[in-house]
């Protein structure tokens, strides 16, 4: 059995273990990680090494929490928590072992690390590869940027991500980006992840897409212009374009379609932000598709109907539902600060 198959088998076994057993694994791994943190720091980068330790303890606590966030069923939330706990265990174990999972070996949900082109550190990457993937046929790729405070493992673990990926045959990757707010300072990590996926899988060069949720929905406007020709389209979910980024977007990405999504009851990123973004881009001559989920709040799961529609539209390169006519709009100058966890 190959190492990739062994890792997959181990992750599957952990997912099937009881919540108590998974908590023990998290606590034990956290203790080992802390004891070896001075060895991990130069490999992972000193800024975020403690973040991975904190994840293990937070995951263990969450497994004991019986509350279910709005929009999830009890079963779906339980599955989500288990999955990102197992991915975080995988991340810590790979760093402790100094042996990283081969990206090409991943099928379904997995976690690996990619070497940074900036400083040589190993940076986390969550991955979903649909079971239908066949290296003989080019697949679409979506690079998905997480919110704040949120990790790449939390973003990719909900079952609806697997559902969307499986139904459309799409490979989805989510870089950690060192947790830097708005991905500023870690843009290269996103492109390192894109390059790694393009090397590991057969990706259709005409169907590479950048998407982001919450903070990630603001970050797409920072990341995309760095290499505008890499992206067939850009999706902003519960985020928006800042005035400071608008000139670069208009100058460098005029031929790029944008897909903008918002919940009408979003209590963290007011719907006015995505709406102003869509109107501004449309007025500037961009192809913009705009989606509003009636009653949708900031949790991505509550936007699933419009996410499904926009996901399918973007992959099919369909432009529809332009934003309403508002005349002149003012783009926000900063991201609203909120304690709400995506």
Say what the pLDDT of residue 180 is.
86
Say what the pLDDT of residue 337 is.
75
Domain 3-231, classified CATH 3.40.50, yes or no: yes
Q: How far apart are the first and last CA of the chain?
A: 38
Picking from 54, 62, 106, 100, the residue whose alpha carbon sits closest to that of residue 82 is 62
Contact 126, 155 (CB under 8 A): yes
Picking from 327, 257, 241, the residue whose alpha carbon sits closest to that of residue 289 is 257
pLDDT digits (tens, 9 = 90+) for 273-303: 999 999 999 999 999 999 999 999 999 999 9
Say what the pLDDT of residue 14 is.
57
Say what the pLDDT of residue 16 is.
60
Q: What percentage of the chain has pLDDT greater than the value 70?
A: 94
Tell which wins on pLDDT, 1 or 169.
169
Contact 130, 165 (CB under 8 A): yes
Say what the pLDDT of residue 6 is.
39
- Look at strands 139-145 and 171-175 and give their pairing: parallel
pLDDT digits (tens, 9 = 90+) for 66-124: 999 999 999 999 999 999 999 999 999 999 999 999 999 999 999 999 999 999 999 99
Say what the pLDDT of residue 341 is.
63
Q: Is the pLDDT score of 9 beyond 70?
A: no
Average pLDDT over residues 220-239: 98
pLDDT digits (tens, 9 = 90+) for 114-161: 999 999 999 999 999 999 999 999 999 999 999 999 999 999 999 999
pLDDT class for 340, splitting at 50, 70, 90?
Answer: low
| Alpha carbon 12 to its chain's center | 22
Say what the pLDDT of residue 338 is.
65
pLDDT class for 210, splitting at 50, 70, 90?
Answer: very high
Say what the pLDDT of residue 203 is.
98
Say what the pLDDT of residue 2 is.
42
**Distance between CA atoms of residues 173 and 175, nearest Å:** 7
pLDDT digits (tens, 9 = 90+) for 164-189: 999 999 999 999 999 888 898 999 99
Q: Is the pLDDT score of 250 beyond 80?
A: yes
What average pLDDT does the chain have? Answer: 93
Length of the chain: 342
């Amino acid at each position: 059995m190959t190492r990739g198959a062994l890792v997959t088998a181990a992750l599957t076994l952990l997912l099937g273990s009881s919540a108590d057993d998974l908590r023990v694994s998290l606590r034990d791994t956290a203790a080992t990680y802390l004891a070896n943190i001075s060895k991990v720091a130069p490999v992972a980068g000193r800024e975020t090494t403690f973040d991975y330790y904190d994840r293990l303890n937070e995951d263990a606590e969450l497994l004991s929490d019986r509350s279910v966030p709005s929009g999830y069923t009890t079963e779906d939330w339980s599955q989500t928590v288990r999955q990102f706990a197992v991915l975080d265990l995988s991340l810590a174990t790979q760093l402790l072992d100094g042996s990283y999972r081969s990206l090409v070996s991943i099928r379904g949900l997995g976690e690996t690390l990619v070497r940074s082109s900036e400083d040589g550190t190993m940076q986390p990457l969550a991955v979903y590869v649909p079971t239908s993937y066949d290296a003989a046929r080019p697949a679409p790729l979506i690079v998905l940027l997480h919110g704040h405070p949120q990790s790449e493992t939390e973003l990719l673990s909900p079952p609806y991500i697997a559902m969307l990926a499986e139904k459309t045959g799409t490979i989805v990757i989510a870089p950690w980006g060192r947790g830097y707010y708005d991905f500023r300072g870690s843009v290269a990590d996103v492109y390192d992840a894109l390059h790694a996926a393009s090397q590991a899988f057969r990706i259709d060069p005409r169907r590479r897409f950048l998407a982001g949720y919450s903070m990630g929905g603001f970050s797409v406007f920072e990341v995309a212009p760095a290499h505008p020709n890499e992206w067939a389209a850009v999706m902003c979910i519960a985020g928006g374009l800042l005035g400071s980024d608008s000139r670069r977007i208009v100058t460098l990405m005029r031929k790029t379609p944008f897909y903008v999504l918002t919940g009408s009851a979003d209590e963290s990123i007011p719907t006015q932000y995505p709406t102003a973004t869509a109107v501004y881009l449309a007025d500037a001559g961009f192809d913009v598709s705009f989606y509003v989920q009636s009653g949708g709040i900031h949790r991505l799961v509550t936007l699933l109907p419009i996410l499904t529609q926009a996901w399918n539209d973007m992959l099919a390169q369909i432009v529809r539902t332009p934003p309403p006519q508002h005349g002149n709009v003012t783009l926000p100058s900063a991201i609203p600060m909120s304690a709400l966890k995506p």
